[in-house]
Amino acid sequence: MKIAVVGATGMVGRHVVEILNAEGHDVVAVSRSAGVNVITGTGLDAALTGVECVIEVSNAGTIDQAAATEFFTTAIQNLMEAGQRAGVRRMVVLSILAVDRFSSGYMAAKAEQERVAQAGPIPVRILRAAQFHEFAAQNLEWGRQGDVSHVPSSRIQPVAARVVAQTLADMAATDGPPITNLAGPREENLADMATKLAARRGDPARVEAVENTGDPDDELVKAGVLLAGPDTVLAGPTFEEWLETTS
């Protein structure tokens, strides 16, 4: 199958490309570095020529709600329009677990992306994945101030980016429900994850947990909205198991 991966050089996209190639698919890696811009539409028609399925894993690069919403909705609309012209038969979109429960920020932007995708002319399957194990490293850096790193004390049920990528690849090649929920095998605290990661790396940063980030949806997160529900597929490894295999 000829499959286009949008956001092919990102955290999840590079795994998706690798997995699809290993499975024998004809993969089109869509990224700005490859001369394709999903916001302006430059190179998009040529990239989707002959493509049967599009896997959309691009990232807005901002947590600002307005800017992220503009990015995600513009990208998905351009992909839908170019995909329809090219005869694309399916689109698989990466989203976030419980995203429909949020009212602000990046999560609200992703929820709007879902709505636009579902209203488009191409059949869509959406993967709502939990936060990635890899987010511990990102938050350790984002919160760093001198020898201290301030990391949100968020209740999450993280999953490895590689597992998310494999699930996206499977969804591209098979039929199934319009929305699939995916999470890791157990609940973690993001600040605790960052502490364990720093210890393994020998990073001298002292992690301080931030109990309230000022986000309007903080109480939802504290109540466990980002944890797996009864309809969620659970997939290992756990964070500690994953940590043993990463530097």
- The yes-or-no verdict on residue 167 having pLDDT over 70 is yes
- The yes-or-no verdict on residue 6 having pLDDT over 80 is yes
* Mean pLDDT, residues 135-151 taken together: 95
pLDDT of residue 231: 95
d(CA 99, CA 81): 25
Distance of CA 146 to the CA centre of its chain: 29
pLDDT tens, residue by residue, 185-222: 999 999 999 999 999 999 999 999 998 777 788 899 99
* Mean pLDDT, residues 133-145 taken together: 96
pLDDT of residue 246: 82
| Average confidence score pLDDT of the chain | 96
Provide, rounded to the nearest whole percent, the portion of the chain with pLDDT above 70.
100
pLDDT class of 247 with cuts at 50, 70, 90:
low
pLDDT of residue 214: 76
* Mean pLDDT, residues 155-167 taken together: 98
Provide, rounded to the nearest whole percent, the portion of the chain with pLDDT above 90.
95
Q: Which domains does the chain have, with CATH numbers?
A: 2-244 (3.40.50.720)
- The yes-or-no verdict on residue 162 having pLDDT over 80 is yes
pLDDT tens, residue by residue, 40-99: 999 999 999 999 999 999 999 999 999 999 999 999 999 999 999 999 999 999 999 999
